[in-house]
Amino acid sequence: MEERELKKLYRKFLAFHKKRFLEDASLWVGVENLHLSKNQLEAVFENYERDSYLIFARKVRCVLQSPNAFQYAVAFSTEQWGLERYLVFLTKEGCIRISRNGRVTCQNKSFEKLFVEPMSREQARVRVQKKLRRKLQLADPVTSLFPLELEAKYDQMPISVSSALFLVEKITEYIPLKKKFLFVGDDDFVSVFLTMANPEMEALVIDIDEDLLSRISKLAKKYELKIETRRVDLRKKQKLGGRFTGFLVNPAYNFEGVKQFVSFGLSQLAEDGGSVFVEIGDEAIGNRFLFLQEFFAQKGLRVREVAPGNISYPWVQLHEEDAILAERLGRFVSREAIEKAPKLASSLWVFDRIPFEVKHVAMKGSIYSYI
């Protein structure tokens, strides 16, 4: 099966889903008491229940690849009505067969090959180690593996190896299809980890630092990785000419930096939407996070996950302020203790880009009406 057939399947699913939604809505707790018209129900479906193509692909992948189909509710933080819908549709279309214990078998192997294989950070570690033929030291910066002279003017800080593996885990968890993925700004070496862990993944890395891009290009050639690099100043608006399923961005950790980096990445996504991964450290944002959340909503970004405690940057001295901070901390602890600790940490924000306008549907609600 080629991807165009998957898109055709998606269009059929939308019609099926809408029909089932209109038939089933009255069965759900409290809905009958709302006395909704057919027009209102259709509006609820179009705005609130309709999945984008890439979310559809992610849900199909979950049904196909989970050890048990009932993992669906856990994966999407929902109930099993959605699973029943997908089982009926995919069975009817001859895509799957399901056993009585919940195990799903794909009936079309070429169909299954369209999807990215999710992997844990441990699985990624084993694969990267095998490719590099050396053991990974998880607390070390990635530049211990791929040496690079850091540029203070670009505020470059190398991510830790363990953090890079965590990002591989998250990207493969959310990105369903083997299409090109975009890396914007810092943490570009994650592209090397991703394509080493899954050689079928393709990546475009953009950055303003030519030395960094040259280093990644040489690694891609040496290890036969599907990575393209391009020097881009994202402050100058431009189209990259790709149709990306998602992007990872590690912006300057301030209000304007996050907005500018994310806006650039969003302008490169395919019309089907996509998954957006944003690393944000609270270096100079504070309560402006409230305004960032408003910005995300205005851009059609639905939060799927905020994961703190997994991304850190080992101590490096780039700026004069770093020396001042080290001197002040040194009044309490040794220099060795300082250099063993992370200098900075960030949280990973994962979003789905909703590729259509979501409008508010006027209806009288109830806290016990589930629609």
Tens-digit pLDDT profile for residues 169-190:
999 999 999 999 999 978 999 9
Say whether both 107 and 162 belong to one domain.
Answer: no
87, 112, 137: which is the final residue of a domain?
A: 112
361, part of any domain: no
Q: In the prediction, which pLDDT does 92 show?
A: 96
Average of pLDDT values for 44-48?
97
Q: In the prediction, which pLDDT does 122 show?
A: 98
- Whats the size of the chain, residue-wise? 371
Q: For all residues of the chain together, what is the average pLDDT?
A: 93
Q: In the prediction, which pLDDT does 156 show?
A: 66
Average of pLDDT values for 324-329?
95
Which residues have CB under 8 Å from 232's CB, separation 6+? 206, 207, 208, 238, 240
Say whether both 16 and 81 belong to one domain.
Answer: yes
Say whether both 97 and 128 belong to one domain.
Answer: no
Say whether both 67 and 202 belong to one domain.
Answer: no
Q: Which residue has the higher pLDDT, 166 or 145?
A: 166
Is pLDDT of 154 > 60?
Answer: no
- Cβ distance 223 to 196 under 8 Å? yes
Q: CA 156 → CA 9, 167, 251, 252, 313, distances in Å?
A: 44, 18, 11, 10, 10
Q: Which of 75-89, 95-109, 153-167 has the least mean pLDDT?
A: 153-167
Q: In the prediction, which pLDDT does 266 show?
A: 95
Q: How many domains does the chain have?
A: 2
368, part of any domain: no
231, part of any domain: yes
Percent of the chain with pLDDT over 70: 98
Q: CA-based angle 77:3:66, to the nearest 5?
A: 35
Dist. CA 266–CA 270, nearest whole Å: 9
Q: In the prediction, which pLDDT does 151 show?
A: 55
What CATH number is attached to the domain comprising 292? 3.40.50.150
Could you read off the pLDDT of 103-122 as tens digits, one per residue? Answer: 999 998 888 899 999 999 99
Q: The whole model's pTM is what? A: 0.95
112, 137, 159: which is the final residue of a domain?
A: 112
